[in-house]
């Protein structure tokens, strides 16, 4: 098993890497079935938009995929998001994860991850900063 990446070993400015993932009809259908949402969003020219809620789940999963050897027991503290262009079925999104800060506050260890997701044209789809209280 790989060594755990603890708070002390987390490096501010380190890019964890990037993760590519396609927006598929099946993925959007599964999300809508999960939420019992029967009305997919289409543009005037017939392109199906990816639900923003699904976008957030998928982009959050990228940090787990890029750094699976984090200690368990973290607590989601806060998140700030900025949305850009919509994502559509057929797009390939790339999410890059970077450690933007880490600090101690009231004897708790906080790590901030900046996550930027772009489409295949390099356009920003969502940019976020997620703050987590880490267990170790």
Q: Which residues of the chain have pLDDT under 50?
A: 1
CATH number of 15-134, picked from 3.40.50.150, 3.40.50.720, 2.30.30.40, 3.10.129.10: 3.10.129.10
Element (H, E) at 53: helix 52-66
Give every strand in the sheet of 15-22, ordered side by side. 15-22, 92-105, 108-118, 124-134, 75-83
pLDDT at 72: 82
**Bridge partners, residue 64, by sequence:** none
Q: pTM for the whole thing? A: 0.85
pLDDT at 128: 92
Are the beta carbons of 25 and 91 closer than 8 angstroms?
Answer: no
Whole-angstrom Cα Rg for the chain: 16
């Amino acid at each position: 098993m790989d060594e755990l990446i603890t708070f002390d070993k987390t490096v501010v400015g380190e890019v964890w890497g990037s993760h590519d993932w396609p927006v598929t009809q099946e993925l959007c259908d599964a999300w809508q079935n999960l939420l019992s949402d029967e009305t997919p969003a289409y543009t005037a020219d017939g392109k199906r938009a990816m639900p923003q809620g699904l976008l957030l789940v998928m982009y959050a999963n990228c940090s787990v995929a890029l750094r699976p050897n984090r200690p368990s027991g973290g607590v989601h503290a806060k998140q700030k998001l900025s949305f850009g262009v919509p994502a559509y079925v057929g797009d390939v999104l790339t999410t890059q994860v970077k450690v933007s800060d880490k600090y101690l506050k009231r004897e708790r260890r906080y790590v901030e991850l900046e996550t930027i997701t772009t489409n295949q044209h390099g356009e920003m789809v969502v940019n976020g900063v997620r703050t987590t209280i880490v267990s170790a």
